Amino acid sequence: MNSKTPPDVLRIAIAQLNPVVGDVAGNLAKAREARADAARHGADLVLFTELFIAGYPPEDLVLKPAFLAACERAVEEFAADTADSGPGVIIGTPLKRDSGTHNSIVFADGGKIIAERHKVDLPNYGEFDEKRVFQAGPEIAGPVNFRGVRLGIPICEDIWGDLGVCETLAETGAELLLVPNGSPYYRGKVDVRQQVVIRQVLESGLPMIYANQLGGQDELVFDGASFAIGADSSLAFQMSQFEETVAVTTWKRTGEGWACSDGPMSKIPEKEEADYRACMLGLRDYVNKNGFKNVVLGLSGGIDSAICAALAVDALGEERLRAIMMPYRYTSKDSLKDAEDCARALGCRYDIVPIFEPVDGFSHALTQLFEGTEEGITEENLQSRTRGTILMAVSNKFGSMVVTTGNKSEMSVGYATLYGDMNGGFNPIKDLYKMQVYALSAWRNTTVPPGALGPSGIVIPLNIIDKAPSAELRPDQTDQDSLPPYPVLDDILECLVENEMGVDEIVARGHPRETVHRIEHLLYIAEYKRRQAAPGVKITKKNFGRDRRYPITNKFRDRG
């Protein structure tokens, strides 16, 4: 195409793919496959996501010269591929230059790299700490002339901040803005992204394509949901959420600029489906990307282990989950039946390993040391730690990853046993409060989400949902013996954790001051446990781990 004769139609493919951090060769192969697919559908250009060749976020891998060199070699090879007269490519990669190490894109066409652009606004909040490993681009570079069309390419945070990147691109002649992103999921994030893009479209007057990464990476889940907003602020196209895909969109030049005339218009899932699918994708990718063949969990007959079992079967298939019931003298007949019914409904392997002998053995071994003391939490925790030891033994023997099952309410207040039920490799419900676990369980009983490998129908027995939750570590125990009702507890925790509200503000919502003070105290003193907990899927705006970094040694208390 003669660059002196600007085209009136541009077909842009958005590659919403699932890279693996550090798998440079694998990510390059995936990019090549996507470009070939886009070429078959007549695309002129393929837009990949942020740092695609490296995988996002690469964290301190970026500090390794060998890793940077591998990424650069890969994008040079990919650029050479474009000599075939097929689609040009925009692909994200780290680049080491005289001005520093940058979060960049390489723009290639005609067998060579025609431009590089570096991220100007580096995020340094929540789950992002890019200033640790990258240097900001030294300037806001202008648009790139691609076959006669001037394309502006801000990178992710460049459209979220206030540096005026999009306005500068518009002022320097950009006709269309293409944005590669690595934007992780949290509840309601799709709407947040669209509002950010609409604001930039209004300020720049240009349509914007927002390409987002897909897939689980440790605690983060990238949900895709790539989209575009037209110059009139309307939704131009919407790609699916939680699904890997390459979509070719058609853009036509009009008297008022560029407009999308053809593209997908997928429906975005409602909140329960979105949360469930995020947990499912996060678990699936953590297990598969780290090379585990299967997983094992303790199935207690309670709601948390039941939903984790459902998630494991949905994510991996029934043949890859082994559920183990480990009863003790306080395990109720209901729990035994509920656990068996759950395993049967899911179709997974189910074993029963009684723990009477090992727990009594520990108790006997400690008789002399504990002489003259009363039984209490220590003896209760022996049960949990015995179960944790059994699960880890199965893990070591068969190479299965242990799935931990504690919810955010429990992890917030320390209602979990270190080296017991906290043993494991990954926790799919770590960022779900207890009432959200109930909501997702009820939802899953009515719906099989897209991509799920599990069965339809009631997979979490109704008795598990209806009965009072209990750790069953002593006779007639329920969680509410030592905690407020979960609707109350969850509201207080959301105020403290997500919203950083003061005690007076929380009391004004109708909660007793004494209860708020107690929950705040439990939250702080459980920090040491959370530091040793397995990673888990981020669902809320502030998860324990990357988003919330409180000191373990901490004497502050809000005396309001």
Alpha-carbon dihedral sign for residues 520, 525, 527, 529: negative
Secondary structure class of 349 (helix, strand, coil): strand
**Options 30, 50, 219, 495, the catalytic residue:** 50
Cα angle for residues 451, 456, 462 (degrees, 5° grid): 125
**Are the CB atoms for 547 and 126 separated by under 8 Å?**
yes
DSSP codes of every residue in 71-134: HHHHHHHHHHHGGGSS-EEEEEEEEEETTEEEEEEEEEETTEEEEEEE--S---STT--GGGT-
* Residues paired with 209 in a beta bridge: 178, 228
Q: How does residue 552 score in pLDDT terms, banded at 50, 70 and 90? A: confident
Say what the pTM is: 0.93
Instruction: Give the chain's count of helices (H) and strands (E).
Output: 16, 19
How far apart, in whole angstroms, are the C-alpha atoms of residue 472 and residue 328?
9
Q: What CATH superfamily is the domain 272-531?
A: HUPs (3.40.50.620)
Mean pLDDT value of segment 201-222 = 96
How far apart, in whole angstroms, are the C-alpha atoms of residue 146 and residue 109?
8
pLDDT digits (tens, 9 = 90+) for 16-60: 999 999 999 999 999 999 999 999 999 999 999 999 999 999 999
Quick check: is 71 catalytic? Answer: no
How far apart, in whole angstroms, are the C-alpha atoms of residue 180 and residue 183?
9
Question: Would you report the helix, strand and coil content of the chain in percent, each value rounded to 5?
Answer: 40, 20, 40
pLDDT digits (tens, 9 = 90+) for 409-468: 999 999 999 999 999 999 999 999 999 999 999 999 999 999 999 999 999 999 999 987
Closest C-alpha among 397, 410, 406, 429 to residue 296 = 397
**Options 30, 71, 72, 156, the catalytic residue:** 156
Q: How does residue 129 score in pLDDT terms, banded at 50, 70 and 90? A: confident
pLDDT digits (tens, 9 = 90+) for 335-385: 999 999 999 999 999 999 999 999 999 999 999 999 999 988 898 999 999
* Residues paired with 296 in a beta bridge: 322, 402
**Options 30, 119, 289, 408, the catalytic residue:** 119
Domain definitions of the chain by residue range: 10-268, 272-531
Q: What are phi and psi of 301, to 5 degrees?
A: 95, 5
3-state SS, 253-299, equals EECCEEEEEECCECCCCCHHHHHHHHHHHHHHHHHHHCCCCCEEEEC
Cα angle for residues 7, 12, 18 (degrees, 5° grid): 165
Two structure tokens written together for 491: 């509201």
Quick check: is 166 catalytic? Answer: no
At residue 479, does pLDDT exceed 70?
no
Closest C-alpha among 462, 468, 460, 459 to residue 486 = 468
Quick check: is 50 catalytic? Answer: yes
**Are the CB atoms for 47 and 108 separated by under 8 Å?**
no
Q: How does residue 2 score in pLDDT terms, banded at 50, 70 and 90? A: very low
Q: What are phi and psi of 208, to 5 degrees?
A: -135, 135
Q: Identical fold at 10-268 and 272-531?
A: no
Secondary structure class of 211 (helix, strand, coil): strand
How far apart, in whole angstroms, are the C-alpha atoms of residue 329 and residue 375?
15
How far apart, in whole angstroms, are the C-alpha atoms of residue 388 and residue 210?
44
How far apart, in whole angstroms, are the C-alpha atoms of residue 46 and residue 12?
6
CATH topology of domain 10-268: Nitrilase/N-carbamoyl-D-aminoacid amidohydrolase (3.60.110)
Report cis status (omega within 30 of 0) of the bond before 7. no
Instruction: Give the type of residue at 485.
Output: P
Q: What is the dihedral of CA 384, 385, 388, 392, to 10 degrees?
A: -170
